[in-house]
Structure 1
Amino acid sequence: MVFVFSIGMLRQFMPKKEIVLVLGVAFLIGAIGGAFFLQPIYQELPEVVSLVEKNVPGNEETMYLDLSSSINMNELKQNLSKTEGFVSFEETDITIPLWKFNDREKEYFEYVLGNIDSHFNHYNVTSDGKLQIQLEDNYSSYDALKSFSDWYKLVYGSSLSYAQIHAKLIVSSSEVESFQKILMDRGIVASKMEGPVQTSVNNTNSSMVSNVEFVLATGVVGLIVATIGIYYDSIGVFFRRFKKSMREKRKR
């Protein structure tokens, strides 16, 4: 911007028709500077804003996890519970994908699912062939899957190929990154996160302009700086006259 301002101040040594070229160069330099130097900093703004919430004592984040039924849940729970910042870990429900149901098959599973296990009190059967079963307190995903798997093998003569476990992990906001690393090492990424930190990130992201708009804005700033440089002498004379008139008014 200093360079752009300096170019603008050379107006008195240029033909008037060159002013348009100076303004064009100023816009280009401002846009390039914004794209290569300021934009990377601007993109880090949500992370910078979230640092405040991360360091507020008592703030907690809720991470929603979609886990494969093949995962060792006990081992995962133990590792998470031993990590500083752990609050709680809860298995909430399971999803069992089968096949795309017709209306009769959908009605059948809606009827029979509650009779397979007395703990299956809250469930949903979708037309695309997914059974969603909510887990009661103190009833694990392992027990629920075993119960359904035993019934399925007895009725259909085959084993389940896949199921998904949904869990809710609550941690201290200041330790979110530690838990994300532990999960990432096991190939797990939270499907959703809620809490003060995530809210601040979402709010900041929603208020930020797009990359193109940001680059154009920095180009306009370059244009303004160049314009100030071009008319710097005139602006200086105006302010000197203004100060002089104010002093004369005070004397009166």
Structure 2
Amino acid sequence: MDILTTVVYIILFIIIMIFVFSIGMLKPFMRKKETALVLVSAFIIGCLGGAFFLSPIYDDVPEVMSTVQKVIPNNDNETMYLDVSSSVDLDALKNNLTHIDGVHSFEVTGITFYMWQFTDKEMTYMNAVLENIDANYKNFTVNESGKIDIDLVPGYEVNSALKSFSDWYKNVYAGTISYAQVHIKVVLAPSAIDQSREYLLEEGIVPTKMEGPVQDSINKTNSTMLNNGEFVLISGGIGVIVALLGIYVDKVVVVFRKFKKSKKSGRRRR
């Protein structure tokens, strides 16, 4: 949310609070039952004001905190994890990302294949044969669902890794692998996050996970924030407090004047 919209929403909430305060000031002309109705109305108006005007601002608090982290000099780097289709032009993706100022490295860490539901015999076979398909398969995990996760030796060409598995599959099952998922790790400065995300969004890619000081600040802020329902109820409570101030404004003014007068009297005695 931009600053102008934020200011407008805050002003609108203040306006409805002034309205609530004004209603409370009509207390001398009300019966006791009507006073209770004013408080109920103030709660409802406060809830509505919080839901429509303050909640959108409150929801942006984590983003504001992350923006602060992005501009802090000498902050630690962020790590962005991507899961993309093997059909994506990885060379172009790497070239475009690493040309963004602040992107330090682009590394393919692994690949994932989605097969069919494995039987126990097929699971045993896959676990036995995978270590012999390619020496650059560092680690692998075979799941009963048919998902095979393979970690690659750092620096190994991903196209070679995909070709090794595809050739083996073709020789054994006389078929072709139509889809694989490629896992990528991008290390970048906090200042490069927004531009990198904009580029990835243009390519239809959404980061799977982020790690680093910026993401930590977002997670920490989210963990301490109230949910929307609680925040709206607190806004309703603010409405009630404002209404009470309006109801008892005369007494508050009298107390304030007495305090001010006694303070002046004390100064004169000195």
TM-score band (shorter)? Answer: over 0.9
Identity %: 53
- Please tell me whether the aligned partners of residues 35 and 215 of structure 1 are also in contact (alpha carbons under 8 angstroms): yes
Q: Helix, strand or coil for the counterpart of 2:132?
A: helix
**Paired AA for residue 64 in structure 2:** V
CA distance in 1, matches of 2:157, 2:51: 51
Task: Give the Cα–Cα distance (whole angstroms) in 1 for the partners of residues 192 and 206 of structure 2.
Answer: 16
How far apart are 1:248 and its partner, in Å?
A: 6.4
Residue aligning to 1:16 = 32
Letter in 2 for 1:225: V
Contact 1:58 1:172 in 2 (8 A): no
Q: Among 64, 72, 81, which residue is 1:56 paired with?
A: 72
How far apart, in 2, do the equivalents of 1:57 and 1:248 lie? 54
What amino acid maps onto 2:35 in structure 1? I
Deviations 1:157-216 (A, max 9, x none): 111121111010112211211111111121111111111111111111222212222111
Distance in structure 2 (CA, Å) of the matches to 1:223 and 1:55: 39
- Amino acid in the other structure paired with 1:162: Y
TM-score, normalisation: structure 1: 0.93
Task: Judge conservation of contact 1:63–1:194 (CA < 8 Å) in 2.
Answer: yes
- The answer as to whether partners of 2:107 and 2:155 remain within 8 angstroms in 1 is no
Bigger drift between 61-70 and 227-236 goes to 227-236
SS of the aligned residue for 1:160 comes to coil
Q: Kindly state the Cα deviation for residue 103 of structure 1 after the two structures are TM-superposed.
A: 1.0
Aligned residue in 1 for 2:219: 202
Higher relative contact order (CA 8 A, sep 6+): 1
SS of residue matched to 1:220? helix
> For structure 2, which runs of at least 5 residues remain unmatched after alignment?
1-16
Q: Does 1:234 align with 2:255?
A: no
Q: Deviations over 1:135-167 (max 9, x none)?
A: 102212211111111111111111112111101
Q: Distance in 1 between matches of 2:153 and 2:23?
A: 72
In terms of mean alpha carbon deviation, does 109-118 or 15-24 score higher?
15-24
Q: How does 1:4-43 map to 2 (within 5 A)?
A: 4-43=20-59
Say which of 94, 101, 104 aligns to 1:77: 94
- 1:244 is displaced (CA, Å) by 5.0
Task: Provide the secondary structure at the position in 2 that maps to 1:121.
Answer: strand
The residue type equivalent to 2:184 in the other structure is: A
